[in-house]
Amino acid sequence: MIDEPEKQTKAVIIDYGSGNLKSVFNAFKHASSGDVSVTHDFRDLSLSSHIILPGVGSFADCMKGLVSLPGVIETLQDEVIKNKKPFLGICVGMQLMASLGKENGTTKGLGWISGEVEKITPKDPMLKIPHMGWNTVSFNSESHPIWKKFISGSHAYFVHSYQFIPTNKDVILATTEYGENITAVVGSDNMIGTQFHPEKSQSFGQGFIKEFLMWDGNT
């Protein structure tokens, strides 16, 4: 008699021409004992257990790249919104969940989490843009299952000039301080988005990826 195989995760990273794909793939591969693949084929999204949307560059370019993939946005709607599969957006991939992006003109986003993506404008001229480097991640809601194994105040690597400003502040799971509180992590139902780069955040990032892959999407 053959034992049932252990339930394995099947993480799929969406390839829409974003430059940092390899780093994201490597970091997930290293953190995961399950299957990790990169795809631009919408059919793979249906077969996945976890969906990851990376992103570097501008909001407008990234949205354009995503729209250009046949069937991907429709399948994402099905899998993430209807079927409630755990979803992780990283950096611009997180920002794309917003209703509207204001980088390089005004662009409609996926509209999954109501809000807009706006330029960071620190009052202190000594605060440089991009906000680049290691900054602390302060949790707003310790109760979210993703934070189970972390302490508020851990460092993560950020590099961005725009931030997601959600309409409903309750979706902000963590902030980082840069002249003001900047959105570091958003979450709603089975969706989570990080402004920081878990794939570049050494052991904190590896731990975060592991937690995401163990998450079933329930809050």
Partner 1 sequence: MLKTRIIPCLDVNNGRVVKGVNFVDLIDAGDPVEQAQLYDQAGADELCFLDITASSDNRDTIYDVVTRTVEKCFMPVTVGGGIRSISDIRKLLLAGADKVAINTAAIKDPGLVKKAALKFGSQCIVVSMDVKQKDNNFELFTHGGRTETGIDALTWAKKMVEFGAGEILLTSMDKDGTQQGFDLEITRQIADNVSIPVIASGGVGHLQHFVDGVKKGHANGVLAASIFHFGLYTIREAKNFMNAAGVAVRID
Q: Considering only 19-27, 72-80, 111-119, 166-174, which stretch makes contact with partner 1 by CB under 8 A?
A: 19-27
CB 134 within 8 A of CB 157: yes
3-state secondary structure of 19: coil
| Binding characters for partner 1, 189-208, by CB under 8 A (x = yes) | --------x-xxxxxxxx--
Q: Which residues contact 147 (CB under 8 A, 6 or more apart)?
A: 139, 141, 173, 174
Q: Is residue 169 within the footprint of partner 1 (CB under 8 A)?
A: no
CA distances (Å), 28 to each of 9, 102, 156, 188, in order?
11, 30, 16, 22
Q: Is residue 159 within the footprint of partner 1 (CB under 8 A)?
A: yes
CB 217 within 8 A of CB 86: yes
CB 159, min distance to partner 1, A: 5
Residues linked to residue 194 through DSSP beta bridges, in sequence order: 90, 185
Nearer to partner 1, 54 or 190 (CB): 54
| Binding characters for partner 1, 110-149, by CB under 8 A (x = yes) | ---------------xxxxxxxxxxxx-------------
How many residues sit in the footprint of partner 1 (CB under 8 A)?
A: 41
CB 91, min distance to partner 1, A: 9
Residues 158 and 62: their CA atoms lie apart, in Å, by 18
Nearer to partner 1, 177 or 216 (CB): 177
> Which residues are known to be catalytic?
91, 197, 199
Nearer to partner 1, 134 or 141 (CB): 134
Residue ranges in 41-80 that form contacts with partner 1 under rule CB under 8 A: 56-58, 61
Residues 216 and 117: their CA atoms lie apart, in Å, by 28
CB 129, min distance to partner 1, A: 6
Nearer to partner 1, 67 or 127 (CB): 127
The CB-side HSE value for 157 (13 A sphere, CA atoms) comes to 10
Write the DSSP symbol of residue 88. Answer: E
CB 194, min distance to partner 1, A: 14
Strands 181-188, 172-177: parallel, antiparallel or unpaired by DSSP? antiparallel
Length of the chain, in residues: 219
Question: Tokens 């034992």, residue?
Answer: 3
Residues that bind partner 1 (CB under 8 A): 19-20, 22-23, 26-27, 30, 56-58, 61, 125-136, 154-155, 157-161, 177-178, 197, 199-206
